[in-house]
Amino acid sequence: MVTFHRPVDLAEALQVRAETGAIPLAGGTDLLVRHRNWAGTLPRIDKPVVYVGHLQELRRIDISGNGSGPQMTIGASVTYSELLDHPTTPQLLRDSIIELAAPGLRNVATLAGNICNASPAADAACALYALDAEVELAGPSGRRRLPIAEFITGPGRTVLNNDELVTAIHLPPDNSTVKYYKKVGTRRANALSKLSLCACARIVDRTVTDIGIAVGAVAPTIVRDRDIEQHLQNTATEQVALRIPQALQQYAELIRPIDDQRSTAEYRKHTALALIEQFLTHELH
């Protein structure tokens, strides 16, 4: 029998988490699969569970900002469907969500749950890497924020402490003029990715002033390298082609996929590099 907690507010949820180390539950679409049991039996969960999907503090989408554009704060219990319906959701994140699962799952699944599951094949998390998202955590010592790349440390691993909860995801203003999302799977939706590429760039006066490239399902964590991006920034669009060979060589060293039931390592690496080349060649003009 699983001990189930339904706190009245975030403060009580944090207290339960600190006292019992209870597993947070919102949509449960990852949690129940991870703890699945024999067919026809209940999931095997060996810890208490604290439900946070109803907490109003975690169900808000807040928009703020200044002249640089709107900043978006997404509560940890906001569902994918709610993000799709919100007019401020960045297009790159929207594109990754629309091919994610079926509508019924998107109605309950949360972006924060996807992040905490820490799968390198998580399509929405891949978009968050490219968009410079930050994850907000709350615990007994207060709140802290850190880049998503620092929050996720490996497959199924994060820096979330046993007495903390993810409370929000913060997105800075999206001023990109180019958005590029490609998911490679057995079909367009309802399928885990063989790999995915999320990329965005800002082009001003035919110069690439900013760029973000993230590749999913090709390494223990989603791949994004700011040193490679800096080499591509502040480059005239007609000169980008000259820098592509070096960029691809550098990405080839970072992309270290595995063979599994969905694909082979060789296919993943070849396709990932081809997608990066396609983005740099055909989109940055």
The closest of 95, 146, 132, 150 to 211, measured between CA atoms, is 132
At which of 119, 154, 171 does a domain end?
171
* Residue pair 176/201 in contact by the 8 Å Cβ criterion: yes
DSSP state of 161: -
At which of 155, 171, 187 does a domain end?
171
Q: What is the CATH number of the domain that holds 101?
A: 3.30.465.10
Q: Is 211 helix (H, G, I), strand (E, B) or coil?
A: strand
Cα–Cα distance between 249 and 254 in angstroms, integer? Answer: 9
Cα–Cα distance between 118 and 150 in angstroms, integer? Answer: 12
Q: Are residues 109 and 221 in the same domain?
A: no
Q: Are residues 39 and 150 in the same domain?
A: yes
pLDDT tens, N- to C-terminus, the chain (285 residues): 789 999 999 999 999 999 999 999 999 887 767 777 767 666 778 889 999 999 999 999 999 977 678 999 999 999 999 999 999 999 999 999 998 878 888 999 999 999 999 999 998 999 999 999 999 999 999 999 999 999 999 999 999 999 999 999 999 999 999 999 999 987 665 667 899 999 999 999 999 999 999 999 999 999 999 999 999 999 999 999 999 999 999 999 999 999 988 899 999 999 999 999 999 999 998
Q: Are residues 191 and 228 in the same domain?
A: yes
247-256: long-range pairs with CB below 8 Å, 24+: 247/276, 247/280, 248/273, 248/276, 248/277, 250/225, 251/215, 251/223, 251/225, 251/276, 254/219, 254/223, 254/225, 255/215, 255/218, 255/219, 255/223, 256/218, 256/219, 256/220
Q: Are residues 223 and 276 in the same domain?
A: yes
* Cβ partners under 8 Å of residue 87, min gap 6: none
Cα–Cα distance between 167 and 260 in angstroms, integer? Answer: 33
- Give the distance, in angstroms, between the CA of residue 115 and the centroid of all CA atoms in the same chain: 6
At which of 114, 149, 171 does a domain end?
171
Q: Are residues 49 and 134 in the same domain?
A: yes
Q: Beta strands 152-154 and 69-75: pairing type? A: unpaired
Domain that holds residue 143: 4-171
The full length of the chain comes to: 285
Which class for 161: exposed (0-12), middle (13-18), buried (19 or more C-beta within 10 A)? Answer: middle
